[in-house]
Structure 1
Amino acid sequence: MAKINGNEIRPGNVIEHDGGLWVAVKTNSVKPGKGGAYNQVELKNLINGTKLNERFRSAETVERVQLELKDFSFLYEQDEALVFMDTESYEQLELAKDFVGERAAFLQDGMKVTVQLYEERPIGIALPDQVTLAISEADPVVKGQTAASSYKPAILENGIRVLVPPFIAAGEKIVVDTNEITYLRRAD
């Protein structure tokens, strides 16, 4: 662990705060006319997902936690568990579906993911930022609708709903942002 000043906290940093482990989601340096500057930090608890907005003065120090990042590949789903394999040691790791959350639907056979470990305990998982999926259902375009207003609902092959532009039809493949769960572009 390393101590850093409150004004050095950056998005993605994991810090120990109030006895918990938190990841900085957003940071904003504020220099008010009166008083000292501070860093407004949006924190997300790595264990239970709660969020917190906290001000850190530049003179304050926090413990920055170094996480171990390991690459795993997704093997299969079994009941409420997702099974991954360490790409180096070939050891298997089971994570609860709830741990991955709704993004679990984006997992594909052999997909590489990065698991964040703290003292050997998985506390986070990063999927590829983008995946390519086929559209299984898309609403037909309503005639006379202006292109500007009209993203339409569609259902991906994994059952997730996204909004797509009117020119996208069922059967086409699109690239989806797995963090925001949004349409990015038509797949090549």
Structure 2
Amino acid sequence: MRVIASSIRKGNVIDMDGKLYVVLSAENIHPGKGTPVSQIEMRRISDGVKVSERFKTTDQVERATIEDRDYNYLYEDGDGFHFMNAETYDQVQVSKDIVGNSAPYLQENMTVKLSMHDGNPIAITLPQRTTLEVVETEPVTKGQTASSSYKPAILSNGVRTAVPPHIGIGTRIVVMTEDGSYVERAKD
């Protein structure tokens, strides 16, 4: 499907010269003088090479047809990560470079969105938030109120983050899967 370059957004998949690229960032630049351009940072899906392209905003770009489906995370082994389609029970294997820095947040039976092109997984989207347990942090100080000072903590998935002073070891907290930042204490 051909679209104009200015309509390309982060997460879109572009077909250039027969190769697929996933868009990491897209910015439309309107200089005071001259032609407006779209600056697009993307990663080639086949080998992970990052590419930066500049198009006129009116240039036609081939957007690949992508199918987003919900899959449940099963397990990880030496070959990669394994997911199952809840409706058809089909299993699919996703390589480590596609999962990338989302890997620590994957939990058994977590529902994720896999973007498929011709039956092959090319991108993964995790839920925005997940609940994890604090396994290591400084002890709670009596009388210390919840101020803007956060303390370091290590979560059950091994990720380091910053938590408010009232959070202790064993507390379950909600974190953003994008950057591991603290949201709130879990309500379970």
User: Shorter-chain-normalised TM-score: which range?
Assistant: 0.7 to 0.9
1:87 maps to 86
Alignment of 1:1-188 (within 5 A): 2-17=1-16, 19-140=18-139, 147-148=147-148, 150-188=149-187
Count of aligned pairs: 185
Q: Is the Cα contact below 8 Å between 2:10 and 2:25 reproduced in 1?
A: yes
Same amino acid, percent of matched pairs = 41
Change (3 A) 1:28 1:77: closer
So what's the TM-score if we normalise by structure 1?
A: 0.84
* Range with bigger deviation, 10-19 or 151-160: 10-19
One-letter amino acid of the structure 2 residue matched with residue 138 of structure 1: T
| CA distance in structure 2 between the aligned counterparts of 1:13 and 1:181, rounded to whole angstroms | 24
Which blocks of at least 5 consecutive residues in structure 1 are unaligned?
none
Change (3 A) 1:141 1:44: farther
- SS of residue matched to 2:104: helix
Q: CA deviation at 1:153?
A: 1.8
| CA distance in structure 1 between the aligned counterparts of 2:26 and 2:89, rounded to whole angstroms | 37
Across the aligned residues of Structure 1 and Structure 2, the Cα RMSD in angstroms comes to 2.5
Which blocks of at least 5 consecutive residues in structure 2 are unaligned?
none
One-letter amino acid of the structure 2 residue matched with residue 36 of structure 1: T
